[in-house]
Amino acid sequence: MDTCACPEVAWYCARTKPKHEHIAAAGLAKRLGMEVFHPRLRSERATRRGVVRVVEPLFPCYIFVRCRAAGDFEDVRYSSGVSGLVQFGQRVATVPDQVIEELRQCFGSGDPMWVEEMFCPGAEVTVAGGCLLGSRGVVVRVLSARQRVQVLLDFLGRPTLAEVDRKSLTLDKRLMADLVPSLARTRQECVGVAA
């Protein structure tokens, strides 16, 4: 982010209230007519109710808005769902156009990008369905051809190797760093997975 003298129109990063990114983006775009960029990820997650599709922001609690320097800041700050603009000291930080363009190339039309859970050996998981519901374990091996995963579980006080449907597992520690390998895939691969 750049904190130099603000150009007339530039990209800025708005901080949103938790879980209000979509509300803030819609309000700024529809009510104020501003250009907004809000990259999101779509994935499937196992829950006790079964597999559900979820959409999450790439940058939780942040969206990008293109507006006039200083002239639109108050409108942005007081828009529904927005808690403020990112600033360093008294200067509101601008986001270089090149950064937004590179992100837009990855996200294409603005629809959420499809990402697949990346189970790899050593990942800590919880079983979210079936007779082993609630059991925690560690991934030993991924059997991609059968969409199954071998998991080492603590069952009846001793380690037990079990083969589980990958859609019935949830990752215990979902960090952005865990998603990076799947984000690096081309957009066409992601579209192929989602189809």
- What domains does the chain contain, in order, with CATH numbers? 9-107 (3.30.70.940), 124-194 (2.30.30.30)
Q: For residue 122, what pLDDT is reported?
A: 84
Q: What is the pTM of this model?
A: 0.61
pLDDT digits 0-9 by tens, 60-118:
999 999 998 877 899 999 999 999 999 999 899 999 999 999 888 887 766 777 766 66
**Cα 167 to Cα 130: distance, rounded to the nearest angstrom:** 11
Tell whether the model's pLDDT for residue 3 goes beyond 50. Answer: no
Please, which residues have CB within 8 angstroms of residue 179's CB and are 6 or more apart in sequence?
41, 115, 118
* CA separation for the pair 135, 51 (Å, rounded): 17
